[in-house]
Structure 1
Amino acid sequence: MSDRDPFSEIERAFDMLEEQFGVDMGAIPVDVVDEGDAFVVHADLPGYDSDDIDVQLVEDREVTISATSSREQESTDGQYVQRERRQQSLSRSVRLPESVDEAETTASYDNGVLTVRLEKIVHSEGDDGTDIPVN
């Protein structure tokens, strides 16, 4: 019988994919849509509960999405020869091209898709910034 671990070989194959092709197997796939008055981020998170998902807005321009899931298969039949648990953590940060209003940010989760709506900060027409007096 061989001492080879097929799971470690699979992990090595994924590591090689990541190195050679820039495929990050631990990243959350996202789409970011500019709707004019808001950015909408769609993130695919199948198999997670809404309680497993954390969304944070960092410095008005960066959204960080993280998800952690832990599953354990239990069986009371017989004596365990092998027992496996699954724990998975994913995260993704997305830098936005403009600042957004923290108070007007909403998130919803439906059928494995997280949708985060981030309203842009509205600048008035004549607003050329804030004057800073020079002494």
Structure 2
Amino acid sequence: MAGRKNPFDELEELFERMGRQFESMGDQFGGGGVGWQPGGMSLDVADRGDEFVVTADLPGFEKDDIDISLRGDRLRISAESSAETEAGDEDFLRKERRQQSMSRTLTVPEPVDETGVSAEYKNGVLTVTLPKEMDEDDSHDIEVN
């Protein structure tokens, strides 16, 4: 049994492939990815040379509502919140509930230094910085005169 694959890893890969196909369908319809889907999370991914910067719009969430994980080359961002308000007097009672959740997983195109990953959340915008893994070879050539 030691050489047997975990079936949940295969299911996760299947969902990832399906997600990528839906994203490309969104591009065909002019939707620009999952933004056309209800509840989708808008993401920007920038390659800044020595790091990747992922920016996600998460309006209405608090910092504690957000969960970020990096597993191999997959970055997963999820956010979930719920709120309940109650107002009333002796003639009227009103109770409102709200639940909101978003999730997005993306594949990072190059290996990253997991120890240097950082995240900042400000004014409804999450910014995740993923420094690229540097080559182990720090040597340089020396010219002989």
Fold equivalence (TM over 0.5): yes
Matched, 1:84 2:96: yes
Residues in 2 aligned to 1:24 and 1:125: alpha-carbon distance in whole angstroms: 44
Q: Which residue of 1 aligns with 2:127?
A: 115
Aligned residues, how many?
Answer: 107
Q: Which residue of 2 aligns with 1:68?
A: 80
- Aligned counterparts, 1:42-61, within 5 A: 42-59=55-72, 61=73
Q: Which residue of 1 aligns with 2:48?
A: 35
Contact 2:86 2:96 (8 Å CA) reproduced: no
Give the CA deviation at 1:124: 4.3
- Which sections of structure 1, spanning at least 5 residues, go unmatched? 1-17, 128-135
Residues in 2 aligned to 1:28 and 1:48: alpha-carbon distance in whole angstroms: 12
Question: Which runs of 4 or more aligned residues in structure 1 lie more than 6 Å from their structure 2 counterparts after TM superposition?
Answer: none
When normalised by structure 1's length, the TM-score is 0.71
Residues in 2 aligned to 1:51 and 1:68: alpha-carbon distance in whole angstroms: 9
Q: Counterpart of 1:55 in structure 2: which amino acid?
A: I
Q: Which residue of 1 aligns with 2:37?
A: 24
Q: Counterpart of 1:104 in structure 2: which amino acid?
A: G
RMSD of aligned Cα (Å): 2.3
Q: Which residue of 2 aligns with 1:130?
A: none
- Structure with more helix by fraction: 2
Instruction: Report 1 or 2 for greater relative contact order, CA contacts < 8 Å, sequence distance ≥ 6.
Output: 1
Residues in 1 aligned to 2:111 and 2:49: alpha-carbon distance in whole angstroms: 13
- Which sections of structure 2, spanning at least 5 residues, go unmatched? 1-25, 140-145
Give the CA deviation at 1:125: 5.3
Residues in 2 aligned to 1:69 and 1:106: alpha-carbon distance in whole angstroms: 22
Q: Which residue of 2 aligns with 1:4?
A: none
Residues in 2 aligned to 1:58 and 1:119: alpha-carbon distance in whole angstroms: 15
Q: Secondary structure at the match of 1:83?
A: strand
| Fraction of identical pairs, as percent | 50
